[in-house]
Amino acid sequence: MRVPPNQDLVVFGATGDLARRKLLPALYELSTQGLLPRRGEIVGTATRELDDLGFRAFAHDAIAEFSRTGLDEQEFATFAKRLRYVPALTDPGPKLAAVLRLPRRIIYLAVPPSSFAPILQELKDSGLSRGSSIIIEKPFGHDLDSARLLNQALHRSVPEERIYRIDHYLGKETVQNLLVFRFGNTLVERIWNRDVVSHVQLTVAEDIGVDSRGHLYEETGALRDIMQNHLFQLLALTCMSPPSSFDPEALRDEKVKVLQSIRPVAPTEVVRGQYTRGSVNGKMMPGYRELEGVSPDSTTETYIALRLAVDSWAWAGVPFYLRCGKGLITRRTEIMLFCRDVPLHLFEGTGIEALQPNRVTIRIQPDEGISFSFVAKEPGPLVVEQGVRMDFSYGNSFRTEPAEAYERLLHDALLGDHTLFIRQDETEYAWKALQPVLDNMPPIKLYPAGSDGPEEAQDLMLSGAWHPLSHHAQD
């Protein structure tokens, strides 16, 4: 693994939840592996009044609680030497400029979207944006117009080549493996199209609720929190054509073509849901409307399912079903491709009445792996079919623990590699496809926490059914 060139890293929102749970632990892990630049400060900035020592103590506790490999005091002492803090009460620009010594720097905006514009202006006014790269977190706007405005504001400060829009799903090993699975195996691409595939289901199910994030989530909802970004990225990687090379732009060009080919989603093809009180994994979860910061008659969706079409040569006519939600029966992210039926049912009149279609399942998390389900003859004198499966599991094949998505993404950004980041046009095309739904949100359907989501989602299915969340993906 390469060591990034010398540079300073500034983290706005350095005492926030993202920094505490993800960024500081990921930077620490990179430090222990020798994957941070040889020279360069990590400067935290936030409204909290802290000094360098206070910030180091904050980082210490965050790493002790959340780091993947646990905190080692000696490693931490080495890491902590880089940590500096600048309180951002008013105009942090000049104070930051005073501690940043290296000509190259990268600035991470781990702050709520409403703070993007003022921080970008501050960076511009203080001259700090000159030569800087910027990392920003989703959501990239809340609809097409605001995404365009945000992109314009970003471009006034830094050019696109120096912007890293993070969708942490792209940092997941299993998501990157989708490209290797598809484009590294002759057999796979042969079946990966409308000739063989009848429909595709993409699921991001979470068994956690919104918990203490009520007031933030009220502004977001499942469409903006997961559908527009994580699920559309999975869709783009599932549908993209082979790129001309593994060059970041070649890859992103192919993803853009998919996002551009999504037929604008009609509100009639969407089901929005919200969880009510219910039992999840044996524990009672309060309903979404009971949460602090949530209006008692909130119409924010905690679940969304939709059907869409990708109007491309490879995928025309194949329905794609996407769903995501919180307070569901299980946590599972997966992509399932269901194959067409065989042309002739040769076994009619035997014990086999209906044949299960072949299915490829990519388990993004948990129990990461890929399986191929097919039918086999059960041993015995009668012709009786049984569903069986060939399975690849990360746990069995590779004995190393995968790095956290943020480790990979921070390392790539420090190296200047854009492959796993979202380009301006990707985010705008994703919003464009969803804009008709944002303009005309369908009514909320309630579902009890701990279920598969609203039953109305089944009505979207042209044939077949959603793969039940209550069953293991391998079933």
Catalytic positions: 230
Q: Is 407 in the site for ligand BG6 (CB under 6 A)?
A: no
Q: Is 137 in the site for ligand BG6 (CB under 6 A)?
A: no
CB 302 within 8 A of CB 221: yes
Q: Which is nearer to ligand BG6, 225 or 385 (CB)?
A: 225
Measured distance CA(442)–CA(270) in Å, rounded:
7
Phi and psi angles of residue 46, each rounded to the nearest 5 degrees, phi first: -165, 175
Q: How far is the CB of 417 from ligand BG6 (least distance, A)?
A: 21
Q: Which is nearer to ligand BG6, 157 or 333 (CB)?
A: 333
Measured distance CA(173)–CA(175) in Å, rounded:
5
Q: Which is nearer to ligand BG6, 93 or 209 (CB)?
A: 209
Q: Is 225 in the site for ligand BG6 (CB under 6 A)?
A: yes
Q: Which is nearer to ligand BG6, 222 or 256 (CB)?
A: 222
Site for ligand BG6 in 261-280 (CB under 6 A): none
What value, to the nearest 5°, has the Cα angle with vertex 236 and ends 423 and 446? 105
Q: Which is nearer to ligand BG6, 184 or 366 (CB)?
A: 366
Select from 77, 33, 36 the least CA-distant residue to 400.
33
Q: Which is nearer to ligand BG6, 84 or 408 (CB)?
A: 408
Handedness of CA 68, 73, 74, 77 (dihedral sign): positive
Q: How far is the CB of 225 from ligand BG6 (least distance, A)?
A: 5
Contact pattern from residue 36 through residue 75 relative to ligand BG6, giving x for each residue in contact according to CB under 6 A and a dash for the rest: ----------------------------------------
Site for ligand BG6 in 66-125 (CB under 6 A): none
Q: How far is the CB of 12 from ligand BG6 (least distance, A)?
A: 18
Contact pattern from residue 328 through residue 367 relative to ligand BG6, giving x for each residue in contact according to CB under 6 A and a dash for the rest: -----x----------------------------------
DSSP annotation string for 374-437: EEEEPSSSS--EEEEEEEEEHHHH--SPPPPHHHHHHHHHHHT--TTSB-HHHHHHHHHHHHHH
Q: How far is the CB of 84 from ligand BG6 (least distance, A)?
A: 28
CA 391 to chain centre: 24
Amino acid symbol at 355: L
Q: How far is the CB of 131 from ligand BG6 (least distance, A)?
A: 30
According to CB under 6 A, which one of 206, 269, 385, 404 is a site residue for ligand BG6? 206
Amino acid symbol at 19: A
Measured distance CA(19)–CA(25) in Å, rounded:
8
Residue 153: in which H helix or E strand, if any? Answer: helix 144-157
Binding-site ranges for ligand BG6 (CB under 6 A) = 206, 225, 333
